[in-house]
Each structure stands twice: as C-alpha cells, then as structure tokens.
Structure 1
Amino acid sequence: MSQDIPEIYANYNSFRPEASGSKTLCYFTRNMGALLEESKLGKDANILEIGPGKGELLNKLRGLGYSNLEAFDICASFRENLRSQGFKVYDGNNLLDLLEQLPDNYFDALIAVDVLEHIDRLELQEFLKSFSCKLKSGGVIMGQVPNSSGLFGHNTFIADYTHITPFNEIRLTSLFHGCGYKNILVRETRLPKSVGNFFRSIARNFIFKIAYFLNRLVGATPVKNLSHLILFHAEK
C-alpha cells in the first residue's frame, strides 16, 4: 500500500460524506452480529479490527460487553481518535508494519469490514498467511467486502477510487484457502429487519434467482452470491 494512501483516508469523509458512520451500524445486527454469534466468541475474546475508521463497530462491540478490543488503522488521525476513546491502537502505514507488533497465538478474531478491497493482492496474501500465527487455534477472520459479481456490486466497487482489489465468493474462498485457512464461509449480506425490507428481500431473491439462471444459461461462472456486499468467515 503506497505511502500517500493514509492522507487519502484522512480526508475520506470529504470524498464520501454520506458513508460516514453508516457501514457498521445499519447492518451490524443482521450481518456482522450474526457472524459473531456463530463464532461463539466469549466476551473476553481478544479481537482486532483493521480499518475501523471512527470506531463505530468497536463501540458497538464494547456496548455488547466485549472487553478486549484492539485496532489498527493507517490513518494517523483515526488512530488518535480511537485512542481518545480508550482503545488499544497499533501504528503503521500498512499491514506488514502491523504484523511486526503483534504477539503470536494471541487473537481470537480479526474483523475487517470494507477493508480487504483497499489492499494490494500480494500484500494481502502475505498478511493473511503471516497473521495465521497471530491467531489462537480455532481463531477466525471475518468481515465484509463489495461483491464484484453482484448485480450492482461493480458499482459499489468502482464508486470508491481507493478500492484496489475486487472480490467475489470464488476469489475470496480461493484467497483464504491458499493462505491456509479452513471452514471458509462466504454469503450474501441481508437487509436489516423492517416491513419495507421484508418485501425488498422477496423481490431481491427473485431477481437473484433469475440472474443465476441467466449466468448458467450463457455459460458464465455461476456465482451464487449476488448481493452488492458479501460476508466472509474463515478459521485458522
């Protein structure tokens, strides 16, 4: 990751002010919250979030009773803000800087929500392989990325010019498998519960089934996850 990227992130809200504070709160209970429950992490689990921004998810986790929360962000102003909120924060300009600071066999979970797409493919591969040593046995990596094979996922990916690496379910699974992880899960994000979203979900599922059929009909790679964002979960 280039050295000027931190300056871009320091001014991220100038580029996309509508995204500030929304990514973790709107979908937390329905998506990341479900992954946490399925992982059966205790409230004393050692959790590291990379790319936490202003700390919306960390504060949500704190409010749910998780007590051992740590963070890493390449933006210095974000790091200082997180420290002012009482979180332990690691410094560095990239993920490889982070690795040098972490103890082995320490973390129960790594969370990366809308982060992996910002990282160069080779750097990400090197990080995931090395980070396995930082996880306890049975530790997990979980998060969310734009789905470039979603019906409108490519729009989500290219809307942010700091996005570097596109993903779909097949590429994510291959990445984690190649880096030595197991029990890899990739699935569509679900809409938050509401009356309106109930009907939107029905319509969305119908449209996705048609799109999957058309993919098979024309001989395209038959990806099953077609939402514009996808969740992932992989175990050491």
Structure 2
Amino acid sequence: MSPGKTKENQNYLYVGYEHWKGWSSYFDFNAEDNEYFSGEMRNIPILGKRLLEIGFGRGEFLAWAKTQGALVAGVEINNRSVEEAHRANIEILDLDIETLAADHAEQFDVIAAFDVLEHLEIDEITQYMRAMEKMLRHGGILILRFPNGQSPFGLAPQHGDVTHKTALSKSRIEQICQGSMFASVRYEGSYRVRGPWGLKRLARAARSLAQNMIGATLNLVYACDIPWDSVVVMVMRKEHAASGGPADTMVPRC
C-alpha cells in the first residue's frame, strides 16, 4: 500500500473520532490529570523547555505542560482538535513527519507521543522514531505510551480501537531503534493515579496491590522481568553518540 493510500485510509478512519472517544472539552485538565502527568513526567524538566506532542488529541497534556512553563507545540490528524488548538493559541506544526523533522531539527527538549505509535505500521513507526530523534536536541527526552504488547491485559486497549495497527513493547521499540542515539531510561506500567483520600483511593490502592502481586507471580512463573500492566510508558534519551543497540539496556524478558 502506498503512503498516499495509507494516509487516505487513516483520514477516513479518523472522521468523527473525537465523538467516538467522547471528547467534550479541549485543552483543559482536572486534578487527576494533574496527578497523572506529574507522575508520568517525574524527573523530566520542562520549565522553559521546548516541548512537542505528536497526536495531542483532546490537548490535556499540552494544557498541563503549558501551565508548568513549557513552550509547547503540537501535531494532530484530527481536524476538530486542530481547530481547538488554534483557539487555545497552541502552535500547530506540519502533519507530515518528514517535513516536520526537516524544518525542526534539534529544536525540542522533550517530545511526547501518548497513544500514537500503535496507530502506525512498523515502517511508519521506524520513520517516526527517526524523525523524533532528529528533532530532539542532544540530551532530549522522548516519552512514549502504548498498549502493552507483551501482556494479555494489553489486549483490551490494543484491540479496542480499529485504528490500532501494531502491538508494541520495549524490546520491539529497541529493535526499531538499533544504531540510533536513543537510550532507554525508564519502562514501566502507566502511572497509576491515586486521587484524594477516601474510599475511591482505598479501592485503587487495593487494585494496584493486586496488579503488583499478579505481575510478580507471572514474572516468577514465566521467568520474565516485564511489566504486565495493560498500558506501558517508555522514556528514552537522545545521547551524543549512537547506542550499541538494545543489548545496552536490555532486561530479562520472555
């Protein structure tokens, strides 16, 4: 299938996507969003930093990052999201990833792609990873979030959206990034929001404990060391020299 055909298919599938997702407001965030993004972005300084989000969707992350002092910009395929971004005075960049990378080489300190790469084919993911590497400054951070392709619990988010094309994991991302300047910094389940004190927080704590116990048991039984969460987050840093490949950061896995 040609790239043009792929783009046409993607555009067709994304018509009305915002209604299916239930996006009712744009470029705002609540207390739980604040806790989530604070947790996910821990140890990643963004104050005064140039931050790009690819596939910003409803825009809650860019809104949060802007309040934290980041200089934000975004890329998005959904027309409604782009319209709302213009209303919110968010800088919108070229949707074509190669043009974007050529025009913004080494201009960003942080790039985020939450729930994006699973929408692409492997060759497209490779193209995106190369482009994001090109756009990051040395020492810059890339943060990815995607359904956990190594866990049975990742099947629900992966197959709950017809636009999802590729199952991903740390090892698959590292394989794609062989010979690049990316080094893995962190790979784990998506941050678990606790919320304010009360019954809801206690229920979440109990569920989190059960998830940890199940994960530890599965790692023991199957001699693995992987997260079993349904959704995972991978943080990578652009180093000053090409890495030696995934063996540099590999952990035992199934």
TM-score tier by shorter-chain length is: 0.7 to 0.9
- Evaluate the alpha carbon distance shift between residue 99 and residue 130 of structure 1 in structure 2; reply closer, same or farther with a 3 A threshold: same
Per-residue deviation at 1:166?
Answer: 0.6
Per-residue deviation at 1:60?
Answer: 1.4
In structure 2, C-alpha distance between the alignment counterparts of 1:206 and 1:40, rounded to whole Å: 32
Give the corresponding residue for 1:112: 113
- Evaluate the alpha carbon distance shift between residue 136 and residue 50 of structure 1 in structure 2; reply closer, same or farther with a 3 A threshold: same
- Evaluate the alpha carbon distance shift between residue 57 and residue 130 of structure 1 in structure 2; reply closer, same or farther with a 3 A threshold: closer
Among 64, 67, 84, the alignment partner of 2:68 is: 64
The answer to whether structure 1 residue 199 and structure 2 residue 206 are counterparts is yes
Q: Secondary structure at the match of 2:149?
A: coil
- Within 5 Å, give how 1:36-185 maps onto structure 2: 36-41=41-46, 43-66=47-70, 68-92=71-95, 94-100=96-102, 102-185=103-186
Conserved? CA contact 1:53–1:73, under 8 Å: yes
Q: What TM-score do the two structures reach when normalised by structure 1?
A: 0.84
In structure 2, C-alpha distance between the alignment counterparts of 1:19 and 1:144, rounded to whole Å: 22
- Letter matched to residue 213 of structure 2: F
Give the corresponding residue for 2:220: 213
What is the identity percentage for the equivalent residue pairs of Structure 1 and Structure 2? 20
Q: What TM-score do the two structures reach when normalised by structure 2?
A: 0.79
How large is the RMSD of aligned CA atoms in angstroms?
2.5
Which aligned runs of 4 or more in structure 1 are off by greater than 4 angstroms?
18-21, 24-31
In structure 2, C-alpha distance between the alignment counterparts of 1:223 and 1:166, rounded to whole Å: 19
In structure 2, C-alpha distance between the alignment counterparts of 1:215 and 1:150, rounded to whole Å: 12
Aligned residues: 225
- Can you list the C-alpha shifts for 1:129-184, whole angstroms capped at 9, x where unaligned? 23322211101110211102223101210111100111123223333445331144
Conserved? CA contact 1:176–1:234, under 8 Å: no
5+ long unaligned stretches in structure 2: 1-5, 195-200, 239-254
In structure 2, C-alpha distance between the alignment counterparts of 1:206 and 1:168, rounded to whole Å: 21
Conserved? CA contact 1:181–1:234, under 8 Å: yes
In structure 1, C-alpha distance between the alignment counterparts of 2:179 and 2:188, rounded to whole Å: 19
